[in-house]
Amino acid sequence: MASISFNNSVIFLFSLLCFISIIPKLYANIADFDPYLEKRAEEALQSSLAAYNENPEAVTQIFNKEVGETILNGTRRHLKEEDKEDKNEKVEKDDKEGDEKSVDICKAYNPIDKCWRCDKNWANNRKALADCARGFGHGTTGGKDGKFYVVTDPSDNNVEEPVPGTLRHAVIQEEPLWIIFEKSMIIKLKQELMINNDKTIDGRGISVHVAYGAGLTLQFVHNVIVHNIRVHHILSKDGGMIRDSVKHIGLRTVSDGDAISLFGANRIWIDHCTLTKGADGLVDAIMASTAITISNCKFNHHNDVMLLGANDAFPQDKIMQVTVAFNRFGKGCIQRMPRCRWGFFHVVNNDYAKWEMYAIGGTANPTIISQGNRFKAADNPNTKEVTNRNGAPEALWRNWQWRSEGDLFKNGAFFRESGPEIKSTPFTEHTTIQFEPAKFVGRLTRKAGVIQCKIGKAC
């Protein structure tokens, strides 16, 4: 798809050679980096290197081809995008913070949703969701190979020895689990929720809030799906002894207050979540995390929305590959949607409305491919630019590959491109929307955020 400014094989070898130097730095609120965690860190890095795709362009080509085919296979009557601004605003008003009204006719427009949402028997076939991840997070199956675990107790009173039936007890188990909930609940976490490998948190059918306490942490783990939950009003917590698996309990320092934190994690899929108001980031992926898809989510009322890459002095994040697709960045979002470092980022068919500083930013030579997004700037004349290089001089960033293809710009919004041009598009002759795919963004993101699924009806 694009001409990339770095050699992937060199990056892979560089990451391997840097392995020993990485381990002492991977602390992530760990007060005691004991032998168990050292082993987990080593295993996580090797897993991330295995998940790294040396040809990221191929992944974006496959993803965009599926989007195009999904759109073209729909009816023209349903897919006709309404151009009048007042009609677009009406759509946004009708979508109540993730509590969409159920409809008898399923209208799933993007390839992820089309994979599962139109099945009226979804409640009896929940694990079909595991086959629906697209983009760099493809192949993430979560707890598909395990049993169902039903959370019956919303409490979180013992973080050292979690009580059976609680979410904390479910996520620390060693075996794969598909975690569902007996009833609607608000879970107020006393400390970070340390999630183990091969888990799916599936909130469909009821209303699950993780709120007014700590957030979710995926550290040195792989193969996790977080689906259809609300995470909001997340606080920084003091830390202490927290169990992160049946086999291990460790001492942790003060948490950052991220809604969802990925640290040395891979094969992660976050889908149809509604996130707002955290003490730090809503989704942060750092320290050689990779093979990630963040899709169909709704983000509101937050400053530092999404951080992808630890810092400019951590080149190991060159293996980071993230797809950000079909999300709505709405009311009260200020910046970092996302902010990127080092890796390869495919930002596709998202809806951006009135950011207060900038939409997409980054430093340290990330590759950012923006395709088919709708950018509507706020009225402030100083915030019209979509992109932000965080103060880097043009002599440095002019070679970073930040490309815009098929994006739609409203109210004066503009994208400042840099680096090599995209020399060939990923679309085939049958997916001829490649020049104006952003006109479909309203439909593609219509169900972003938590969906109010009802048993016996398509979601």
Would you please indicate which residues are annotated as catalytic (active-site) residues? Answer: 336
Q: Which residue(s) pair with 294 in the sheet? A: 270, 324
Residue 39 DSSP symbol: H
Beta strands in 213-348 (DSSP E): 216-219, 222-227, 230-234, 240-245, 248-252, 260-263, 266-271, 274-278, 283-286, 290-295, 298-300, 302-304, 306-308, 321-325, 328-329, 333-335, 339-341, 344-348
In angstroms, rounded to a whole number, what is the distance separating the alpha carbons of residues 154 and 213?
13
In angstroms, rounded to a whole number, what is the distance separating the alpha carbons of residues 251 and 243?
9
Asked if residues 391 and 357 have their Cβ atoms less than 8 Å apart, the reply is no
Q: Which residue(s) pair with 226 in the sheet? A: 201, 270
Phi, psi of 109 (to 5 degrees): -100, -25
Please, what is the Cα angle at 309 between 412 and 247, to 5 degrees?
A: 140
Within 29-153, residue ranges assigned H as helices are 35-51, 56-72, 76-79, 85-94, 111-116
In angstroms, rounded to a whole number, what is the distance separating the alpha carbons of residues 320 and 220?
14
Which CB contacts under 8 angstroms, 24+ apart, belong to 412-418?
412/377, 412/381, 412/384, 413/375, 413/376, 413/377, 413/384, 413/385, 413/386, 414/384, 414/385, 414/386, 415/360, 415/370, 415/375, 415/385, 415/386, 415/387, 416/385, 416/386, 416/387
In single-letter form, the type of residue at position 43 comes to E
CB within 8 Å of 34: residues ≥ 6 apart? 250
Query: Which sign, positive or negative, has the C-alpha torsion 144, 132, 293, 425?
Result: positive
Asked if residues 447 and 113 have their Cβ atoms less than 8 Å apart, the reply is yes
